[in-house]
Structures are given as C-alpha cells and as structure tokens.
Structure 1
Amino acid sequence: MTTPIDISEAAGVRYLHFGSDWIQGAMRIRKPNALELAYTREMMAGLLLRDGLAEDAGQWPKKVLIIGLGAASLAKFVHHNCPQARVKVVEIAPSVIAAARQFFKLPEQDARFSIHVGCGAQYVMENDHYYDYILVDGYDRNARAGALDTLPFYQALHSRLSARGLMAVNLFGRSRGYKASVERVLKAFDGRALAFPSCDSGNVVAFGAAGEAVERALSELRERARALKLASGLDLGPTIARLEQSGSVPGGVLHL
C-alpha cells in the first residue's frame, strides 16, 4: 500500500500528513516520547482505569496492541513509560513505518517492541493472542477508518482482550457516521463502553472493557491522574474535568 507522506514543522513540533493538511501525528522535537496531541493523551486514560503505571508499574498493561502507527506517539509513550509491556504495532503502510523511523524516533524492534506490516482488522481476526490494552488509531488520507470501524472488527477486538482488558479507539467526532461508530462499539462490548467528551480537535476516544469491572470515583481518578503526571508527565486532568462537566460520570463514579 502506497501512502503519500508529508512532514511539516512549526513552533518546535514536527507533524505527519498523508498527502493533505490533516494532521496524522505530531512530536514535540525536544520531548519525543511525550504525547503532543490531546486525543493521544486521552487514549492512554486506561492507565487511570486499571492499576498500572500510576501506582505499580509491574502490573498493567503487560501486552499492548497498537493498530495504526502514525507518528509512533502511542508506541513510544508505552515503550518508554511501561517497561513491563510488550508492544505489538500493526501498520498497513510501509511508508508510514519508514517516516516514523526517519522523522519521529521510532524505537528499534526488540523483545519488547515489534511491528507487523498488514491490515489491522485482518491481523486481529486471524490471530489468537490476548492483550491487556488495544489502541486503535487507523485512518487514511481522507479520514476514513474502513474495516477498522465495523461491528465484526470491534467484536474481534473484544474477543482478544484479556481478563482485565481495555480497548481505546480514536473516532472522528465531526464525521457524519460518528454516532453509528459509537453504537457499534457499544454493541460489540455489550454496553461496557464509553465515548469520552470530544476534545478540541474534534477527535473522540471511546473505551471498551472486558472482564473485571471498572469502577472509579472521580476523586480517585483525580488522585491517580496526579500520580500519573508525576510518573510520566502525562496530564489527564483536563480529561477528567471534561468527563465531570459533560455528565458522563453519573453519581460521580465511572463504571465500565
């Protein structure tokens, strides 16, 4: 698959584009392992929902699947901040991998980090591995997710989650099909899903859970967010504030 790649820079940030002005990824040059874009930060909110980096880096997640490499932001963050995790990235376009390696400090493949070149949907449906955290961020140059936004795909993701598994998917909240995407996620996860309130970019991150129930009070989420910020520099305080303001956490407790 040939994907047109453009690189731009402004104010100390390097951007990835797929032949258009639409930003497909970003890296602050002085902080290559940080998450520059708001929606990528939000996709790591699973670290607040399960016991993990914020309080015991030896626990969760141990196996991570990332579908869609982009500028390697999620891959680098997990690889750098979750030393207990084995990370598998599935990317359909070799040109994206080459750009991430050349311009965005993609980690070298080793025992903890590997890349599979191919279709993310096909990979999930044809492999029987289980993952603690699955992150889906796959779009083409026209902001289309294709097979990565279908009910069979979400159902396959659900079946590939461990007993404490979480899935996070980046949805484009300004697209006409956004509500249908959320409905597919809800159906695939038997209602155990939540679309976070849209961030400024228009991206919406939806989470789905399997196995052990998630039950976190807002006060606990804020405390965990403070610990996570100290441990990794990742600030999810604004995410928690938006959850509270939007009424997405009835009774002050997030259930998933």
Structure 2
Amino acid sequence: MNPPIEVSEEAGVRYLHFGSEWVQGAMRIRKPNALELAYTREMMAGLLLRDGLAEDGASWPRRVLIIGLGAASLAKYVFHTLPQARIQVVEIAPAVVAAARQFFRLPPEDIRFSIHVGCGAQYVLEREQKWDYVLVDGFDRNARAGVLDTQAFHEAVRSRLSEHGLMAVNLFGRARGYKAALERINRAFDARCLAFPSCDSGNVVAYGAAGEPIERSVAELRERAGWLKARTGLDLGPTVTRLEQSGTLPGGRVEL
C-alpha cells in the first residue's frame, strides 16, 4: 500500500497529506517533537488516567504500540518524553515511513524504538506481547480506518493489554459511521470506554481500559494536567475543561 504522499508548509508548520485535503500529520518546524495537532495531544491523555512518569522509576507506560505512523508525532513524543518506554510502530505503507524520515525527523531505530512495515491488525493478532499503551491512528486517503475499525480488532487489542493497559483510538467524529465505531469499542471493552469531546478538527479520541480500574476526579485530572505541562510541555488543561463541560462524567469523575 503506497498512498500518494504530499508535504506542504504554512506558517511554520509542515503537513503530511495522502493525496487529498485531509491532514494526516503535522510538525511545527521550530518544535519538531511537540504535538502540534489537538487530537495527538489527546491521544496522550492516558498519562492523566494512569500514573506515568513517576519519580521512583516505576513509570507507565513501559511498552507502547503505535499503529499508524503518519508524521511521526506520537512516536517522537513518546520517544523523547517517556524514556522508560519501548516503542513499536506498525505502519502499512513504506512510503509513509520514508516521508517521516525525510521530512518529519523520525528517530533512528534502536533498542527502544523499532518500526514494522505491515498491517497493524495482523501484527496484533500474530504476536503475544502485552502492551501498556496502544495508540491507533491509521487512516487511508479518504479518512477510512478499514480493519482498524472493527470489533474483532478492538477485542484483539484488549487481549494484548497489560494489567494497566489502555487503548487510544483516533476517530473522525464527522464521519457517518462514527457512532457505530464508538459502540464497537464500547462492546469490545465491556463498556470501559471513554470518548473525549470532539476537537475543532472533528477528531474524537476514544479510550478503552483493561486491568486495574481507573478512578479520577476532575480535580485530580486538572492537577495531573498541570504537572504534565510543567514537566513535559504537554498541555492537557483544555482537554480536562472540555471533558468537564461535556456533562459526560457522572459525579465529576472518570471511572473506567
């Protein structure tokens, strides 16, 4: 699978396209390791839900699987910000990997970071590894996720999650099948599912949780967001505010 790769630049931001108007990734040239797009920041909101970056070294996540490389935003953020994490990227299109290397400062592969060219769903099904954090962000040029948007795939991911495992999926909230896609995740995770309110771009990040229950008050989320911003520069304060204002948290708490 080789989508037509296009790269554009505007106002100091470099964009990746697959031969269409849809933005498949972005990088601010002066801040190449920052998460430029709002939905990519919310893909990292698992750091609000699990106790990551702990001072005692028992940090979460230890093993991260990223399905869909795009402009390598998530891969670079995890690589540079979470030194305890080993990262496996699965990308179906060799041309995307080449573009990420040439235009988006993809880190070189090493003991912590590796790239597999192939189908993300097949990779999950064929391997027995357990993952702490699975980030699913795979689309074609028409903003379709294909096999990555099936209940069977989400069930397979859940079976590969550790006792502190989370799956984050980028959905396109303006797509006709968005509600059905969210329901498939909800069924696969036995209702342990949380969807963040839609970003301005129309992207919705949905989480599925396995293992240890998650309970966080809005106040705890806000405190955690402030700590993350000070420590890493990742600003999830607006995400917490939107989640609080959405009216989807009974009693002002996240329970997964």
Smaller-chain TM-score range?
over 0.9
Partner of 1:170: 170
Structure 1 range deviating more: 130-139 or 56-65: 56-65
- Please state whether the residue corresponding to 2:59 is helix, strand or coil: coil
Q: Distance in 2 between matches of 1:2 and 1:223?
A: 43
Partner of 1:113: 113
**Residue 56 (structure 1) shift:** 5.6
Distance 1:20 1:44, change over 3 A: same
CA RMSD of aligned residues (A): 0.9
Partner of 1:29: 29
Partner of 1:238: 238
Partner of 1:204: 204
Equivalences for residues 63-102 of structure 1 within 5 A: 63-102=63-102
Q: Output the TM-score relative to the length of structure 2.
A: 0.98
> Is the Cα contact below 8 Å between 1:53 and 1:231 reproduced in 2?
no
Question: Does 2:181 match 1:181?
Answer: yes
Q: Distance in 1 between matches of 2:255 and 2:228?
A: 20
**Residue 2 (structure 1) shift:** 1.4
> Is the Cα contact below 8 Å between 1:193 and 1:207 reproduced in 2?
yes
Distance 1:116 1:243, change over 3 A: same
Aligned partner of 1:210: which letter?
A
**Residue 54 (structure 1) shift:** 6.7
Question: Does 2:114 match 1:152?
Answer: no
Partner of 1:228: 228
- Please state whether the residue corresponding to 2:39 is helix, strand or coil: helix
Aligned partner of 2:187: which letter?
K
Aligned partner of 2:93: which letter?
A
Aligned partner of 1:81: which letter?
T
Distance 1:54 1:204, change over 3 A: farther
Distance 1:229 1:240, change over 3 A: same
- Please state whether the residue corresponding to 1:227 is helix, strand or coil: helix
- Please state whether the residue corresponding to 2:14 is helix, strand or coil: strand
| Structure 2 portions without partners, runs of 5+ | none
Q: Distance in 2 between matches of 1:97 and 1:253?
A: 39
Structure 1 range deviating more: 57-66 or 42-51: 57-66
Q: Distance in 1 between matches of 2:15 and 2:56?
A: 33
Q: Distance in 1 between matches of 2:14 and 2:152?
A: 35
**Residue 59 (structure 1) shift:** 1.3
Please list the CA deviations of residues 97-131 of structure 1 after superposition, one character each: whole Å capped at 9, or x if unmatched.
00000000000000000000000011111111100
Distance 1:220 1:102, change over 3 A: same
- Please state whether the residue corresponding to 2:70 is helix, strand or coil: coil
| Structure 1 portions without partners, runs of 5+ | none
Q: Distance in 2 between matches of 1:248 and 1:42?
A: 16
- Please state whether the residue corresponding to 1:205 is helix, strand or coil: strand
Q: Output the TM-score relative to the length of structure 1.
A: 0.98
